[in-house]
Structure 1
Amino acid sequence: MTAGTETSGPDDKVQPERLAYRPNDVAAVLGIGRNRVSELIKSGELQSIKYGRTRLIPARRSSAS
């Protein structure tokens, strides 16, 4: 192996970028409770979409152009 060369083994898994998160995931990332996430959704401070019976919060993307 030469310097600067990386190899990936069969156990290496690439995690695809998430497009949306569940409220529990958002609460954990922000360090707030699930109820507070619900309050933010109801007040409109946090955008969400309904997919079936599941509530999802879209991931924000920054455009660095």
Structure 2
Amino acid sequence: MEQRSKHPLSAREHEVLRLAAVGHSNKTIAEKLQIGPKSVETYKARGMTKLGFHDRVEVVRFAHSMGWLDES
């Protein structure tokens, strides 16, 4: 995943934002990653701040441009 290095996200922020972009709820993301829902919110907020995003639409657009929506 060469494109991952082109943005400042940690591996966990990347995974949380990718899962959110494909439509998973915070609860589902927390279960998949075996972390708490509050941690999901924190990782999502940090990632969005780093990328300068203000809403989920921006996350989905970014995810699409990065090819995250094509991953399983």
Q: TM-score, normalised by structure 1?
A: 0.42
Q: Tell me: higher relative CO, structure 1 or 2? Use CA pairs within 8 A at least 6 residues apart.
A: 2
Q: Which has the higher strand share?
A: 1
Q: Which has the higher helix share?
A: 2
Q: TM-score, normalised by structure 2?
A: 0.39
